[in-house]
Amino acid sequence: MSSQLESTIADHLRLNVDNEQLWVSRKSFYETGFALVSYLLPDEVKEQVAAEVEDLLAAQSVRRDLRLKETGNSPRYMRNVTAADIRARDGVTVALYRSPAFLAGLTSVAGEEVMECPYEPEHYVITHLERKGDTHGWHWDDYSFGVILVVDCPEVEMGGFVQTVPNTQWDKDDPQVFKQLVNNPIYSYELRPGDIYLLRTDTTLHRVHPLEDGAQRTIINMAYAAQRDLTKNISHETMEDLFRV
């Protein structure tokens, strides 16, 4: 599976992605911490990942309804599949996460090396929003990069769009989320199924706007580290709170 996936992605990048596209994404990433990079993967790979995500959600997802104090008590109303359950499947997601060709594509957008995260529970997580009011509330993540593949997403009038506040710092003891919202511009992004975005997740406050009644939204998030993360002392409270049983 993984060597065939590798050549599919490498061929796609060589044949279908040009420097101009990468440069537009890199500029956006530098300016706003957000870059749409849907073109980095061919449709056949996105479809394989989407099928695996739907399968895992049906088989072993867990509903959460909580607020996290490290992010100013922002809500997590969602259904998840953990990294451990995704890893146990040992399918296309696991192979994609460590694909050298995919990492090279992400690195050219980020402008610095995008590396596997040293903390396995953060490698990947599936998040499904399924009810009115479901949201992945305002937060930062522990590592520098998040790569989010949108499997399912409603029309923007039904909620489920992404909002970001770039260039913000996470003080886990005193996050002051509302102050950061009031003092900075908030960007909002409409997404479609099949979209992929790269986010500078450690310095971009972000959330998914709550869903309206009848809407559903499914994503898989893959977290990656920068060189700077490997020397930083990172604690993992929000991840541990989220998956405490």
Ligand X SMILES: O=C(O)CCC(=O)C(=O)O
Residue numbers at the binding site for ligand X (CB under 6 A): 125, 127, 136, 141, 146, 148, 162, 206, 208, 219, 221
Least Å from the CB of residue 1 to Fe ion? 28
Distance CA(159)–CA(78), nearest Å, equals 14
Return d(Cα 5, Cα 80) in angstroms, integer: 25
Report what 196 binds from Fe ion, ligand X, none; CB cut-off 5-8 Å by kind: none
Indicate the pairing of strand 34-36 with strand 162-165: unpaired
The residue among 101 and 106 lying less far from ligand X, judged by its C-beta, is: 106
Q: Which does 162 bind (CB under 5 to 8 A by kind): ligand X, Fe ion, none?
A: ligand X
CA distance 107 to 132: 37
Q: Which residue has the tokens 């989010």?
A: 148
- Choose between 86 and 148: whose C-beta lies nearer to ligand X: 148
- Residue (13 or 71) nearer to ligand X, CB: 71
Q: C-beta of 30: minimal distance to Fe ion in Å?
A: 19
Binding-site ranges for Fe ion (CB under 5 A): 141
Minimum Å distance from CB 103 to ligand X?
19
Residue 158 neighbours by CB under 8 Å, 6+ apart: 211, 212, 214, 215
Can you say how many angstroms the Cα of residue 234 is from the centroid of all Cα atoms in its chain? 18
Q: What is the rounded distance in angstroms from the CA atom of residue 70 to the CA atom of residue 174?
A: 8
Q: What's the min distance (Å) between Cβ of 146 and ligand X?
A: 6
